Structure 1
Amino acid sequence: MTSLCHGLPPLTGRTEPWMEQLLADPDQCADLLSAHGSALNLLDFGPLGRNIGELTRAGADLGVEVGVFVARKANKALSLISAAVDAGAGLDVASYAELKQCLDRGVEAGRIIVTAAVKDKALLTLAITSRVTVSLDNVDETADVVAIAAKEGIRARVALRLAVTHPSVPPTRFGLTADSWLAFLRDRGELLEVEGVHFHLNGYDRQHRVLALAEACSFIDRLRDAGHPVGYIDMGGGIPMSYLEDEQSWRAFWQALAADADGTLTWRGDRLGLTDPALDRPSPALYPYWQRETRGAWLTALLSTPVDGTTAAQLLTSRGLQLRCEPGRSVLDGCGVTLAEVVFRKTTSDGVPLVGLQMNRTQMRSTSADVLIDPRWLRPSRAGTPSAPGEAFLVGAYCIEEELILRRRLAFPQGVARGDIAVFLNTAGYLMHILESPSHQLPLAQNLVHRDGDWIPDGES
C-alpha cells in the first residue's frame, strides 16, 4: 500500500513491534482518541529493560560496573518509575515532585539521585532526610545543604558536580572546579558524605566525556587523599540513539535542504540552523536524529578510548570506581508514540497548504529546532472524504503564526481527510513531555500505558 504521508525527502522513523501492531489498527487508534482526546500519548515500557541492559553489558564486558539512573524529567508517566526499578535501574530526579513520586512508590533512597539545576529548600530537605544523594552544583546550594544537615543532625549524602576545565572541552555553566570544591570541603565539609563525582556535558561528543572522566579520576584521587571515600563517577546523560532507519535518508535530507535555494522544503524557507548551505551537514541547532554509534556500542567505544596512557575503562577499574549515567531518550527509545487527529485543511492567504491537528507544538517537541522524523498516517473507517493528493504543513492549536507541529513540508499521496490520524513515532524520551504547555487553557495530553493487552490511564493499577 502506498504511504499516506512522507517528508520531502522522506525521514522514515524506526519502530518497535508493539508500534506496528498499533498502527495496523487505525480504528482502534480512532477509538482511543475518541475516548481520551487529542493529542494522546501511548506508552509501552517493554523496550526500557533491553536498552538499560545494553549499557550495563557494555560496561561489564570491559570490567566496569555501570549504574543506570533513568532521567525522570524525560517522561512524566508514573509507570516509568516502576518500569525503571524493575529493569534494575535507579532514577535521576530534578524536582520535589519527581523525588516525592519515587519515594511514595517505595523506591529505595540509594536508587535515587537529585540533579536539579536549581534546588529549593523543600527539595533539599526531603532528599537529605530521606537519605537520597544530592548532586551539588555550587557553593550557595551546598551551604543550604550543610545548614539543613546541621538542623536535622545528620550528614548529607552528596556527589560533587565537577566543572571540567580541560581546554578541549567546551565551557559549562554546571558545577565547580576541583580546586573550588576542595577548598569548600576543607572549611565546611564535615556534614557532607561525598559519595561520588558528577559532571554534566552538553552534546554527544565521546572524546569530551573521556577527557572529563580522566579529570574526574584525578579529582577523586585528591578527594580520597583528603579522606573522602568516593565510589563512583556519574557522567550524566547524553548517550546517543537513532530515531531514523538509516543514515542515507539523514544525509539526503541535509543535501536537499542545502540545495533548496527557493526555500520550498521548510516553512517559509526555514534553514533549521543551517548557516552554510555548502556544508550540507546537520546543524547544531538540531538533535542528531541519526547517529552511527548508539547506546552500548557508543559506551564500549568510550570505555576503550585511550587517555593518559591507558583507557577510560582502566582509569575506572584501577580505582574500583563504578560508572553511573543518567540517560533519558536513549533508554526510552521505542517506548512511546503520540497520536493527533486531523480537524481541518486549508491554505494560507498566499496559498500555502495546511493541515490542522488537534494538538499544539509543545506536545511533540524538545529543545531542537524541529523534529526530523516523518509521522505515520492512519485513515480510520470513520474518516471523511480525502482531499486530492498534495503537499502541506502541519499546524496546531495555538493562536500564533509560527504554530507549526513540524517545520518540514510533507507529501500526502492519497490526500488528507478530516479524522485522519497523525502518529508521531518514538516520542517517549522528552518529545511528549519536556516542553508541554497548557497555554490557552487547553488540556494536556493524556498518557495511556500498554498493560496486558489493554491501554489504561497512567497511574492506574
Structure 2
Amino acid sequence: MPPLMHGTAPLTARLEPWMERLLTDPGLCQELIEEHGSPLNLHDFSAMSRNIGELRQTAEEHGTDFQIYLARKANKTIGAIDQAAAEGCGVDVASFRELDQCLKRGVPADRLIVTAAVKSSELLTLAVDNDVVLSLDNVDEALDLLDIAAESGRRVRVALRLASTNPKIAPTRFGLRAEQWLDFLESADRTTGLEVCGIHFHLNGYSAQQRALVLAESLRLIDALRDLGHAPEFVDMGGGIPMSYLDDAAQWTGFWEDLAALPAGDESLTWKSDRLGANGTEPSGSVYPYHQKLIRGEWLKQILASDSEGAGESVAQMLKERGIQLRCEPGRTLLDGCGMTLAEVAFVKTRSDGLPLVGLHMNRTQCRSTSADFLVDPLLLQTGTPRSERVALSAFLVGAYCIEEELILRRRFEFPQGVAAGDLVAFPNTGGYLMHIIESGSHQLPLARNLCWDAGEWAQDSVDKQSIEMELA
C-alpha cells in the first residue's frame, strides 16, 4: 500500500517492529495523544540490546577490554538509564541533574563519568562526594576541583581530556594538549590530590581513521603519565559511533542530486529553496549522514584493526600490551530504533501566495538536533474527521512558534490521499538526540511527555513525573 505521506524526494525510514505494530493501531495512537497531549515521545528500548551487542562482539573478536557508557544527553528519560544499566553499561552524564538522577536510580559510581563541558561547583561536589570519575577539560576546572576535594579530604579520580595536536585532526574546544597536561601535573604541588585514571577525548564527526590516530596519541600520553607515577587504566574515545536511519542508499544520493539541480527559488523540494548547507551534489556537512554503510560494529573494527602509527601494530594490540580498557560514550547509535514522536495535525491552509501548509501541534525544537534538518520521512495516520473531502496535497509542515521560519522540517511532503486536522504524523527513530537535545518550551508551551513501553503498556517515564513534582513544589 502506498504511503499516505512521503517526501517529494522520498527518504524512507527504517522502522523497528514495535514502530510498525504501533502504526497499525491508529486508534491507540489517538488515545495516547488525547491523554498526554501533542507532541508525544514514545520509547521502546528493546533495540538497545542489539546495538550494544554489535559493539561488544567486535571488541571481543579483537581481544579488547571494552566498556560502553550511554551518553545521557542524547535522551533524558529514566527508562534509557534503566535499560543501559540492565545491559551492563555505564552512563556518561553532562549536568548535575543527570548525575543526581543516575545515582538515585542506583547506577554504581564506577559506571558513571562526568563529561560536562562546563562544570558547576555543585556538580563537582556531587561527583567528589560519590567518587565519580570526572573528565577534566582545563586547568581552571582542575583547580576548582582540587579546592572542593581539599575541603572533603578526598583524592579525586579524573580522566584528562586530550586535545589532539595531530595536523589531520581539526582544532577542538575540548580539552588541552598533552604537553599542557604534563606541565600542569609536574608544576603544581596540589595535583597530588588528583588520581589520573584515564584519558578522554571528543572528536567531531564520525571518522574511524581519526579516532585511531587520537587513540595512539592518547596511549603515548598514558606512557608519559606512567613515567610520572600515575596509573591510568582506560582511554575513552567519546561518542560519534555511526548509525543509519535509511536503508536505501540511492534515495540518499538522489535527494542531494535532485536538490542541486533545482534553480534558485524553486520550492519543489525544500522551503525557500534551502540547500541545507550543501554545495553541489554531495551530502551536506550541516546535516547528519542519515544513510551510512559503515556503522557500529564494522566501524569499530576499522579502528581496532588500524595500524595508525604505521609501526605494524594495531590499535587493539597497543591497548592490550598496556592493559588499557577502551571506553566509548555513544548516544544516537545506542538509541537507534528506541524512539518515535507523534504529533497532531492542527490545520491545513495556504501561505499568502497559495503554497499549502500543514500545521502541527508541536514546535521545530521537538524533532531536531543541531543539524540543519531531520532527513527522514514522517508517516501519516488518518485519524481526523475531515471537514471537507480529502484531496491530494503537496505541502510543508509548520509549527507552533510565532515566527515566519517555524518549519518542523524544511523538506516538502506529498499527501496523496490528503490530510486533515486531527490526523497524526509520526516521526520515526527520534530517540537519540532528536527529541530532547534542543527542545524548548518557548511561549510557555509544555514540553512533550515521554512514555516508555513497560510490562506490556505505555507508561509515563519517571523524568516527567519528577518535572511535574518540581513545578508543583
TM-score by length of 2: 0.95
CA displacement, residues 325-347 of structure 1 (integer Å, 9 cap, x when unaligned): 00000000000000000110011
Aligned to 1:144: 144
Counterparts of 1:44-83 in structure 2 under 5 Å? 44-83=44-83
Report deviation, 1:384. 5.4
Contact map agreement 2:233 2:323 (CA 8 A) in 1: yes
Separation in 1 of the partners of 2:65 and 2:53?
12
Contact map agreement 2:397 2:409 (CA 8 A) in 1: yes
Aligned to 1:393: 396
Instruction: Pick which of 45-54 and 29-38 moved more.
Output: 45-54
CA displacement, residues 125-183 of structure 1 (integer Å, 9 cap, x when unaligned): 00011000000000000001111111110100100000011011111010001111111
Separation in 1 of the partners of 2:327 and 2:191?
23
Aligned to 1:292: 293
Counterparts of 1:421-436 in structure 2 under 5 Å? 421-436=424-439
CA displacement, residues 262-315 of structure 1 (integer Å, 9 cap, x when unaligned): 34210011110013x2xx111111111111111111001111112221111111
Separation in 2 of the partners of 1:385 and 1:104?
53
Separation in 1 of the partners of 2:196 and 2:173?
21
One-letter amino acid matched to 2:368: R
Aligned to 2:253: 251
Contact map agreement 2:341 2:426 (CA 8 A) in 1: yes
Q: Is structure 2 residue 133 aligned with structure 1 residue 130?
A: no
Aligned residue pairs: how many? 458
Separation in 2 of the partners of 1:345 and 1:66?
51
Counterparts of 1:62-461 in structure 2 under 5 Å? 62-186=62-186, 187=188, 188-261=190-263, 262-275=266-279, 277=280, 280-308=281-309, 309=311, 310-380=313-383, 385=388, 387-459=390-462
* Secondary structure of 2:322 counterpart: coil
Report deviation, 1:117. 0.2
Separation in 1 of the partners of 2:427 and 2:437?
15
Separation in 2 of the partners of 1:281 and 1:12?
19
Report deviation, 1:453. 1.7
One-letter amino acid matched to 1:174: F
Separation in 2 of the partners of 1:285 and 1:107?
35
Where structure 2 has 5 or more consecutive residues not aligned to the other structure, the ranges are: 467-473
Aligned to 2:39: 39
Contact map agreement 1:384 1:419 (CA 8 A) in 2: no
Separation in 2 of the partners of 1:317 and 1:256?
48
Distance 1:384 1:233, change over 3 A: farther
* Secondary structure of 1:306 counterpart: coil
* Secondary structure of 1:265 counterpart: coil
Where structure 1 has 5 or more consecutive residues not aligned to the other structure, the ranges are: none
Report deviation, 1:9. 1.1
One-letter amino acid matched to 1:430: Y
Separation in 2 of the partners of 1:5 and 1:386?
17
Contact map agreement 1:386 1:414 (CA 8 A) in 2: no
Separation in 2 of the partners of 1:439 and 1:373?
25
Report deviation, 1:260. 1.4
RMSD: 1.2
Contact map agreement 1:393 1:408 (CA 8 A) in 2: yes
Separation in 2 of the partners of 1:333 and 1:360?
23
TM-score by length of 1: 0.98
